[in-house]
Amino acid sequence: MRELIPKMSQWRKWSIPSKHTTLGLLVGVAALVLTVALFRLGPTAAKQDETLAIVKRMERVQSENDEQLLKRFPLGYVLFTATLRKEIIPLDPKTKDFEVDWHSAKVVEITEERVIVQFPDFVYRPSNWRVYQNTVGLFRQKGARSGGMVSIGRHSTAVEIIHNDADGVIIALGLVPF
């Protein structure tokens, strides 16, 4: 292995393009090692702490508003936060009748005035109704609602912003009767 490293006398005899090629290789290998090391570290502790704080806030908001939410969404609901980092952070659905694919959800836009979200694809199990690629825009304020987006039997999907703060908005998605 040591034979691969040129001695100073050898280095002096190399042409400038050869020296530049060798230096470029070393810089490339160093960049690759750094990239792999940073990728392997995964999410930072600060980001994990922030996500945990958001989940705890959703749990607190859910416990404070559960009775009103069950009146609004009698078949059940799911809460999630749309963050300023354009991430979706979900809680488990309040009912087991929903099968939710959170990988399909995304924040399209979030500003001080509005939020546009592509909701997760989901299946309402009792009737096996499937809802896909449903995008909704709302004013970014507590109580902003949108309903009647998709009909499922005698119900339709509806959303409501339950909480709005500097980190993002907590949104309830559920089914409401006509």
pLDDT tens series, the chain, 178 aa? 677 778 888 888 889 898 888 889 889 988 888 887 776 666 676 777 888 888 999 999 999 999 999 898 888 888 999 998 888 998 887 777 878 888 888 999 999 999 999 988 888 788 888 888 888 889 999 999 887 567 767 778 888 999 998 889 999 988 787 7
Sequence-ordered list of residues with C-beta below 8 angstroms from that of 24, at least 6 positions apart, any chain: none
Q: Do 49 and 136 belong to one domain?
A: yes
Number of folded domains that form the chain: 2
Q: How far apart are CA 160 and CA 140, in angstroms?
A: 10
Specify the amino acid at residue 144: A
Q: Do 93 and 164 belong to one domain?
A: yes
Q: Do 29 and 56 belong to one domain?
A: no
CA atoms within 13 A on the CB side of 84: 10
pLDDT at 10: 85
pTM over 0.85? The answer is no
Q: How far apart are CA 172 and CA 116, in angstroms?
A: 14
Q: Do 26 and 112 belong to one domain?
A: no
pLDDT at 1: 62
pLDDT at 148: 59
Range of the domain at 35: 2-41
Q: Do 13 and 95 belong to one domain?
A: no
Q: Do 94 and 137 belong to one domain?
A: yes
